[in-house]
Structure 1
């Protein structure tokens, strides 16, 4: 078989992902206020220092009552006070007594039930229960959700909004997390247009710079975008400067075998060692991954060289970029691929492909609809795409066959 897809020495997608997932050395840790921990990865497990709830409380607006007998319907109780949420009043109920209580209010001593107000008839300073209720009804007991000393979160867990809220409720104020990588983005090439007039000179508008800046913002990292021309001296000087102060360098363009593709040779000149180059995939075959270790200090810098075509940049960041950034924060789980059903035929290709598709549920099945304009220089179908789908090499696919992919929400 001929063609670029059959080129010898190409690495498989899974082999490349495994190297990016396992080789980077995790960054150091830092302690942050919980409020600053959104989307960070925990470096230490968290255990609750309190019970949740920390005291028994009412689950409804109603009445705390004490009744030694099982019969409650049509029984009257004397109301002796009121407890609001946050109240420090201490009451002790005797048999046949009730206290008006609101949701979150502390259950007074002696309480056997809480009767929600919808089943209570108020009669002056007494109440009558209109229904029978079970013992301990509508009481949230101390520690029923979380026991003191119980593990709340494990090492490696991502602090999403729900986790942040749950930890806040348990009184957690500071967390230890892995540092986020410091990232430099280098856009190479002489063809980027500065104005509409530049288009007439054979240039193109820059999609990669805005794409990557937005991608990193969504991930939670601010990056500086650098533009350099296709000159070996400038590329070398750029890498020499960045490798000491950044954990990751992302480049676009200049990783193939053209006369002006300087990323690989300049990386080698500045001390980077190749981990892999060229993956049997489409788009993004010339993907380049290299590592630098400073001999003077315990510092590593990783270079992920992306092809220049914007679709290849987008796909490579969604698949490989996220794995690299996560690995540096000691998050080394393999990519979780979903399975879904194709709704149409697909021709075979010599390389495994990532196609932009639209996934939707129909009659309980996740189905996939391919989108037009899949070439690596095209981005317009990202307006409709919500997933990237892996299409195996050298196999024509029929409607109804199962394939795997990942969802994209950015």
Structure 2
């Protein structure tokens, strides 16, 4: 077998993912106010400091009642007051008494039922009559029926999403112990970036990698520093020397292959980085480079991406996310989905990540490949919503089940 798929030294996608997942040293933890913890990963279990509800309360607008009668339809009650949500319930109900109460209001001592106002007929200012029968304890939210004091609300490694943040806030949680988020620097290498349309005539191209990575990290939830460095070894070395001390991760684009101006690897070695792997048997993104710098307790990881924008995009969706998650103690396998290919596909010597459009049809997830898959092309990302793994050296027919990954927006 010949061709780039048979090149010696290439590791598989799964081998690369395993190294990316297992190598990083988990970052330290920090305690933050709850409102600053959206999309952060918990470093400690969270226990409820209160019962929820913290007091028995009305589930409806209506009347709290006290009665020993078994049949309540047409029963008449004497109204002795009113309780709004947030007010103290100082009243004690006796048999035959009622009190006007609103949703969330604390039910007074002696309450046996709460009657929603739709089944209450007002006889006078101080008398009501029930027009329907209700069961004991109707429409009362009892203390601790949702959550009890000391109950586990969230566990280590759980991601705090919007719903989780709201649930913890309702329970009175004020702060959380979470893993620190990585400090990331992005280095765009190359001399070919065009500033204006006129620059295209001089053989330059517009920068897609800078905006792509800035948007990707914003979607992930990180602010990053983006630098542009010319293809000069001394400048790349100086850049790495500075960044390795200040950041947890350096992401580079371009300069990781074997060309005369590919300085990322030699400059990384010169500044103390040790190679974890280089070159993956995949398409796009074969010359992917992963290295680690260690000094005392500080670790910095360098993820060198090829310069072609599709390779940058695919590599960040697959490897970039795995690296950033691992630094926050998230080391589980990627959760691939399964879908049905809707057309035939030619074989390739390397395993591929193809940009596809996934959609449901008759209860099945279908996969449609998009045109213009070359590593320098991005236009199909306007339609793509997933990356699909295509096995190497196989002709695929329509109906084949494949594994895919829904991509960060």
TM bracket (short chain): over 0.9
Q: Hey, what's the Cα distance between the residues in 1 that align with 2:298 and 2:44? A: 22
Q: Hey, what's the Cα distance between the residues in 2 that align with 1:327 and 1:97? A: 62
Structural mapping, 1:41-80, within 5 Å: 41-80=41-80
Structural mapping, 1:118-157, within 5 Å: 118-124=118-124, 125-157=126-158
2:24 maps to 24
Calculate the aligned-residue CA RMSD, in Å: 1.1
1:11 Cα offset (Å): 1.0
What SS does the aligned partner of 1:77 have?
Answer: strand
Structural mapping, 1:76-115, within 5 Å: 76-115=76-115
- Are residue 263 (structure 1) and residue 229 (structure 2) matched? no
1:6 maps to 6
Alpha-carbon contact 2:45-2:155 (below 8 Å) kept = yes
Q: Hey, what's the Cα distance between the residues in 2 that align with 1:81 and 1:345? A: 75
Instruction: Report the count of equivalent residues.
Output: 408
2:298 maps to 299
Q: Hey, what's the Cα distance between the residues in 1 that align with 2:93 and 2:31? A: 47
1:121 Cα offset (Å): 1.5
Task: Render the CA deviation track for 1:300-351: whole Å, top value 9, x for unaligned.
Answer: 0000000001011011111111111111111112111111111222122111
What SS does the aligned partner of 1:81 have?
Answer: strand
1:340 maps to 339
**Mean Cα displacement is larger for which, 59-68 or 124-133?**
124-133
Q: Hey, what's the Cα distance between the residues in 1 that align with 2:162 and 2:137? A: 33
Q: Hey, what's the Cα distance between the residues in 1 that align with 2:225 and 2:59? A: 51
1:177 maps to 178
Q: Hey, what's the Cα distance between the residues in 1 that align with 2:141 and 2:158? A: 28
Question: Displaced runs of 4+ in structure 1, greater than 3 A?
Answer: none
Q: Hey, what's the Cα distance between the residues in 2 that align with 1:377 and 1:92? A: 76
1:34 maps to 34
1:141 Cα offset (Å): 0.7
Q: Hey, what's the Cα distance between the residues in 1 that align with 2:92 and 2:237? A: 79
Q: Hey, what's the Cα distance between the residues in 1 that align with 2:77 and 2:399? A: 67
- Are residue 287 (structure 1) and residue 288 (structure 2) matched? yes
- Are residue 328 (structure 1) and residue 327 (structure 2) matched? yes
Q: Hey, what's the Cα distance between the residues in 2 that align with 1:359 and 1:128? A: 59
1:315 maps to 314
1:15 Cα offset (Å): 1.1
- Are residue 377 (structure 1) and residue 360 (structure 2) matched? no
1:69 Cα offset (Å): 2.3
1:84 Cα offset (Å): 0.7
1:89 Cα offset (Å): 3.2
What SS does the aligned partner of 1:243 have?
Answer: helix
1:55 Cα offset (Å): 0.4
Structural mapping, 1:102-251, within 5 Å: 102-124=102-124, 125-251=126-252
Task: Render the CA deviation track for 1:77-130: whole Å, top value 9, x for unaligned.
Answer: 221111110011311111222111111000111111111111221211222222
1:409 Cα offset (Å): 3.8
Q: Hey, what's the Cα distance between the residues in 1 that align with 2:284 and 2:136? A: 65
What SS does the aligned partner of 2:381 have?
Answer: helix
TM value normalised by structure 2: 0.97
Q: Hey, what's the Cα distance between the residues in 1 that align with 2:42 and 2:321? A: 17
Alpha-carbon contact 2:89-2:107 (below 8 Å) kept = no
What SS does the aligned partner of 2:32 have?
Answer: strand
Q: Hey, what's the Cα distance between the residues in 2 that align with 1:385 and 1:361? A: 14
Q: Hey, what's the Cα distance between the residues in 2 that align with 1:90 and 1:362? A: 60
**Mean Cα displacement is larger for which, 118-127 or 378-387?**
118-127
What SS does the aligned partner of 1:69 have?
Answer: coil
What SS does the aligned partner of 1:35 have?
Answer: helix
What SS does the aligned partner of 1:372 have?
Answer: coil
Q: Hey, what's the Cα distance between the residues in 1 that align with 2:235 and 2:254? A: 14
Q: Hey, what's the Cα distance between the residues in 1 that align with 2:369 and 2:352? A: 12
**Mean Cα displacement is larger for which, 265-274 or 62-71?**
62-71
Question: Which runs of 5 or more structure 1 residues have no equivalent in the other structure?
Answer: none
- Structure 1 pair 409–250 and aligned structure 2 pair: CA distance change class (3 A): closer
Question: Which runs of 5 or more structure 2 residues have no equivalent in the other structure?
Answer: none
Q: Hey, what's the Cα distance between the residues in 1 that align with 2:198 and 2:55? A: 70
